[in-house]
Amino acid sequence: MAQQPSSDGTAGLRELGEFGLIDRITASVARTENGTVALGPGDDSAVVLAPDGRVVISTDVYVEGRHFRRDWSSAEDIGHRVAAAALADVSAMGAKPTALVVGLACPADTELSWLDGLTKGLADEAITAEAQIAGGDVSRADVVFISVTALGDLAGLPAVTRSGAAPGGVVAIAGTVGNAAAGLAILSRGFRSGKAYIDAHRRPQPPYAEGPRAAEAGALAMCDVSDGLLQDLGHIAAASGVLIDIDGSAFEIEPRMAEIASALGQDPRAWVYGGGDDHALVAAYPDRSHVPEGWRVIGSVWPVPDGGEPAVTIDGEHPEISGGWGHFAG
Amino acid sequence: MAQQPSSDGTAGLRELGEFGLIDRITASVARTENGTVALGPGDDSAVVLAPDGRVVISTDVYVEGRHFRRDWSSAEDIGHRVAAAALADVSAMGAKPTALVVGLACPADTELSWLDGLTKGLADEAITAEAQIAGGDVSRADVVFISVTALGDLAGLPAVTRSGAAPGGVVAIAGTVGNAAAGLAILSRGFRSGKAYIDAHRRPQPPYAEGPRAAEAGALAMCDVSDGLLQDLGHIAAASGVLIDIDGSAFEIEPRMAEIASALGQDPRAWVYGGGDDHALVAAYPDRSHVPEGWRVIGSVWPVPDGGEPAVTIDGEHPEISGGWGHFAG
- Determine whether the interchain pair A45/B38 forms a contact, defined as Cβ–Cβ distance below 8 Å: no
Percent of chain B having pLDDT more than 90? 80
- Determine whether the interchain pair A57/B92 forms a contact, defined as Cβ–Cβ distance below 8 Å: no
Q: Which of A134, A137, A143 sits opposite B61 (nearest CB)?
A: A137
Please determine, for residue B61, whether its predicted confidence score (pLDDT) is greater than 90: yes
Quote the CA–CA distance of A321 and A311 in Å, as a whole number: 13
- Determine whether the interchain pair A1/B39 forms a contact, defined as Cβ–Cβ distance below 8 Å: no
- Determine whether the interchain pair B92/A45 forms a contact, defined as Cβ–Cβ distance below 8 Å: yes
B interface test, pick of A43, A100, A122, A163 with most B CB neighbours within 10 Å: A43
Q: Which of A61, A108, A159 sits opposite B137 (nearest CB)?
A: A61
Mean pLDDT on B268-287: 94
Q: Which of B45, B159, B239 sits opposite A89 (nearest CB)?
A: B45
Dihedral over alpha carbons B134, B138, B143, B148 (to 10 degrees): -20
Q: What pLDDT was estimated at residue B99?
A: 98
Q: What pLDDT was estimated at residue A321?
A: 59
Q: What pLDDT was estimated at residue A4?
A: 35
Residues of B in contact with A53 (CB under 8 A): 49-51, 53
Note the ipTM here.
0.91
Please determine, for residue B73, whether its predicted confidence score (pLDDT) is greater than 90: no
Please determine, for residue A40, whether its predicted confidence score (pLDDT) is greater than 70: yes
Mean pLDDT on B91-111: 95
- Determine whether the interchain pair A45/B89 forms a contact, defined as Cβ–Cβ distance below 8 Å: yes
- Determine whether the interchain pair B89/A44 forms a contact, defined as Cβ–Cβ distance below 8 Å: yes
User: Which amino acid belongs to residue A129?
Assistant: A
pLDDT in tens, B18-56: 888 888 888 889 999 999 999 999 899 999 999 999 999
Please determine, for residue A193, whether its predicted confidence score (pLDDT) is greater than 60: yes
Mean pLDDT on B279-308: 97
- Determine whether the interchain pair A1/B329 forms a contact, defined as Cβ–Cβ distance below 8 Å: yes
Q: What pLDDT was estimated at residue A3?
A: 31
Mean pLDDT on B291-317: 96
Listed range (B79-88, B95-104, B107-116, B295-304) with the worst mean pLDDT = B107-116
pLDDT in tens, A78-129: 999 999 999 999 999 999 999 999 999 999 889 999 999 999 999 999 999 9
pLDDT in tens, A138-173: 999 999 999 999 999 999 999 999 999 999 999 999
Dihedral over alpha carbons A105, A108, A113, A116 (to 10 degrees): 30
A interface test, pick of B57, B111, B142 with most A CB neighbours within 10 Å: B57
A138 neighbors A257 (Cβ within 8 angstroms):
no
Please determine, for residue B327, whether its predicted confidence score (pLDDT) is greater than 60: no
pLDDT in tens, B175-214: 999 999 999 999 888 888 899 999 999 899 999 999 999 9
Residues of A in contact with B61 (CB under 8 A): 103-105, 137-139, 145, 147
What is the maximal distance between C-alpha atoms in chain B? 69
Please check if A271 is assigned to a binding site: no
Say whether A174 sits in a helix, a strand or coil.
Answer: strand
Residues of A in contact with B21 (CB under 8 A): 328
- Determine whether the interchain pair A147/B61 forms a contact, defined as Cβ–Cβ distance below 8 Å: yes
Q: Which of B202, B162, B184, B179 is nearest to B82 (CA)?
A: B202
Q: What pLDDT was estimated at residue B176?
A: 95
Q: What pLDDT was estimated at residue B323?
A: 45
Please determine, for residue B292, whether its predicted confidence score (pLDDT) is greater than 50: yes
Q: What pLDDT was estimated at residue B7?
A: 40
pLDDT in tens, B15-28: 788 888 888 888 88
Task: Provide the shortest C-alpha distance from residue A259 to chain B (in Å).
Answer: 31
- The domains of chain A, with CATH numbers, are 13-153 (3.30.1330.10), 170-314 (3.90.650.10)
Listed range (A16-20, A300-304, A326-330) with the worst mean pLDDT = A326-330
By C-alpha distance, the chain A residue nearest B147 is: A147
Q: Which of B18, B149, B162 sits opposite A59 (nearest CB)?
A: B149
Please determine, for residue A2, whether its predicted confidence score (pLDDT) is greater than 60: no
DSSP codes of every residue in A207-230 = -TTHHHHHHHHT-SEEEE-SS-HH
Percent of chain A having pLDDT more than 70? 93
Q: What pLDDT was estimated at residue A326?
A: 44
Mean pLDDT on A308-326: 78
By C-alpha distance, the chain B residue nearest A99 is: B57
Q: What pLDDT was estimated at residue A77?
A: 95
Count the Cβ atoms, other than its own, within 10 Å of residue A229. 29
Mean pLDDT on A211-235: 96
Please determine, for residue B4, whether its predicted confidence score (pLDDT) is greater than 60: no
- Determine whether the interchain pair B147/A90 forms a contact, defined as Cβ–Cβ distance below 8 Å: no
pLDDT-derived band at B219, boundaries 50, 70, 90: very high
Q: What's the distance, CA A268 to chain centroid? A: 21
By C-alpha distance, the chain A residue nearest B15 is: A329
Quote the CA–CA distance of B283 and B260 in Å, as a whole number: 30
Please check if A43 is assigned to a binding site: no
Quote the CA–CA distance of B212 and B49 in Å, as a whole number: 18
Phi, psi of A78 (to 5 degrees): -60, -40
Please determine, for residue B10, whether its predicted confidence score (pLDDT) is greater than 60: no
Q: What pLDDT was estimated at residue B298?
A: 98
Please determine, for residue B328, whether its predicted confidence score (pLDDT) is greater than 70: no
Greater confidence (B71 vs B225) lies with B225
Please check if A267 is assigned to a binding site: no
Task: Provide the shortest C-alpha distance from residue A123 to chain B (in Å).
Answer: 17
Residues of A in contact with B162 (CB under 8 A): 42-44
Q: Which of B89, B140, B328 sits opposite A13 (nearest CB)?
A: B328
Please determine, for residue A1, whether its predicted confidence score (pLDDT) is greater than 80: no
Please determine, for residue B288, whether its predicted confidence score (pLDDT) is greater than 80: yes
Q: What pLDDT was estimated at residue A11?
A: 59
By C-alpha distance, the chain B residue nearest A13 is: B328
Number of CB pairs, chain A paired with chain B, less than 8 A apart: 250
Mean pLDDT over all residues of chain A? 91
Please determine, for residue A179, whether its predicted confidence score (pLDDT) is greater than 70: yes
By C-alpha distance, the chain B residue nearest A89 is: B44
* Beta pairing, strands A54-63 & A132-140: unpaired
Q: Which of A52, A104, A134 sits opposite B57 (nearest CB)?
A: A134
Q: Which of A54, A136, A154 sits opposite B59 (nearest CB)?
A: A136
Mean pLDDT over all residues of chain B? 91
